[in-house]
């Protein structure tokens, strides 16, 4: 019985380790895509999922484009989410289509 518990424990630990490796790999790939998108545009200013706003306010994705438009004249995007954007002057705006 003790031997069976040890075997089950090893199998569970192995399975959990494999899941973590995949998540880490996916996260690293995603970060790489986000950073690369802004490599010649002043670095990453804000992102959510695959939508990215660069330091020079270049937008990648429809949601990012809407965020940049909402913050035009408000010192650019500093953060955004599904339906709101926060600009550099600390104003917030609702955006559609999140």
pLDDT at 70 over 90: yes
Coil/strand/helix, residue 77: strand
The pLDDT confidence band at residue 7, using thresholds 50, 70 and 90, is very low
Mean pLDDT, rounded, for 46-69: 96
Please check whether residue 77 is in contact with residue 46, taking contact to mean a CB–CB distance below 8 angstroms: yes
The boundaries of the domain holding residue 52 are: 2-94
List the one residue out of 83, 82, 81, 75 whose CA is nearest residue 91: 75
Q: In this predicted structure, what is the pLDDT of residue 12?
A: 45
For residues 11 and 13, what is the distance between their CA atoms, to the nearest angstrom? 5
23 falls in which pLDDT band (50, 70, 90)?
confident
- DSSP class of residue 42 equals T
**Number of domains observed in the structure of the chain:** 1
pLDDT band at 11 (very low <50, low <70, confident <90, very high): very low
Residue at token pair 């650019």: 76
């Amino acid at each position: 019985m003790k031997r069976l518990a040890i075997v089950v424990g090893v199998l569970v630990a192995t399975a959990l380790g494999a899941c973590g490796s995949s998540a880490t790999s996916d996260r690293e790939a995603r970060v790489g895509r986000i950073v690369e998108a802004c490599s010649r545009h002043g670095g990453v200013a804000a992102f959510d999922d695959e939508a990215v706003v660069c330091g020079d306010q270049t937008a990648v994705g429809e949601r990012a484009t809407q965020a940049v438009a909402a913050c035009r004249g408000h010192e650019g995007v500093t953060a955004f989410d599904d339906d709101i954007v926060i600009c550099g002057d600390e104003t917030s705006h609702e955006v559609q289509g999140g």
